[in-house]
């Protein structure tokens, strides 16, 4: 079995309707991760097989999220480690 390629989605918009189908399809061939930034930090992501993170610098104290927070340095590391990066 071949190794799945890594695919990172960086989501900055609250409207993720078109993204959901793309993620579902890409999970068949890729290891998917998602980082929520800017306006998307409170977005509810439907259950996916990959990891979902929130950029802590974009999350206000009153904003609630169920996903783990990461900082800019972790986000940058994920960008460089991913084979493909998609922004929404």
Q: Compute and round to an integer the Cα radius of gyration of the chain.
A: 13
Reported confidence tier of residue 2, pLDDT bands at 50, 70, 90: low
Q: Give the list of residues 6+ apart from residue 62 with CB closer than 8 angstroms, or none.
A: none
Q: Which domains does the chain have, with CATH numbers?
A: 5-87 (3.40.1260.10)
77 has a pLDDT exceeding 90: yes
Average pLDDT for the chain: 88
Concatenated DSSP letters for 28-67?
TTEEEEEEE-GGGTTPPPPP-SSEEEEEGGG--TT---SS
Mean pLDDT throughout 35-54? 88
């Amino acid at each position: 079995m071949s190794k799945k390629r890594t695919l990172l989605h960086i989501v900055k918009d609250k409207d993720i309707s078109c993204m959901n189908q793309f993620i579902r399809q890409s999970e068949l061939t890729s290891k998917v991760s998602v980082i929520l930034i800017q306006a998307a930090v409170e977005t509810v992501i439907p259950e996916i097989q990959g990891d979902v993170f929130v950029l802590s610098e974009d999350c206000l104290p009153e904003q609630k999220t169920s996903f783990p927070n990461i900082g800019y340095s972790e986000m940058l590391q994920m960008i460089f480690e991913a084979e493909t990066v998609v922004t929404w």
